[in-house]
Amino acid sequence: MQFNALREAYLDYVNNYLTVDVYADRNGLTYDQASRLIQLGRECHESHCSMMKGAYYYR
């Protein structure tokens, strides 16, 4: 999965689901798969935010 797709999956989870169980069920994943996907997406999102924050300070 690409960086942006992982970020989008994470943001979808954060904005639209209350639990990993429901996210997994609605997306045809096991709990472990969904949990790992969310974890990777969170890491990508945090990396993106750090990168954007750094770009803002160098303007």
For the chain, 59 residues long, the average pLDDT of each consecutive 10-residue run is 92 97 98 98 94 70
The two structure tokens encoding residue 1: 């999965």
pLDDT of residue 41: 97
Nearest 5 degrees, angle CA 46-CA 16-CA 18?
A: 90
Q: Which residues contact 14 (CB under 8 A, 6 or more apart)?
A: none
The sign one gets for the Cα dihedral 42, 48, 54, 56 is negative
pLDDT of residue 15: 97
**In this structure, what are the phi and psi dihedrals at residue 19, rounded to the nearest 5 degrees?**
-135, 160
pLDDT of residue 57: 61
State the total domains in the chain: 1
Q: For residue 38, what are the domain limits? A: 3-57
d(CA 26, CA 4): 21
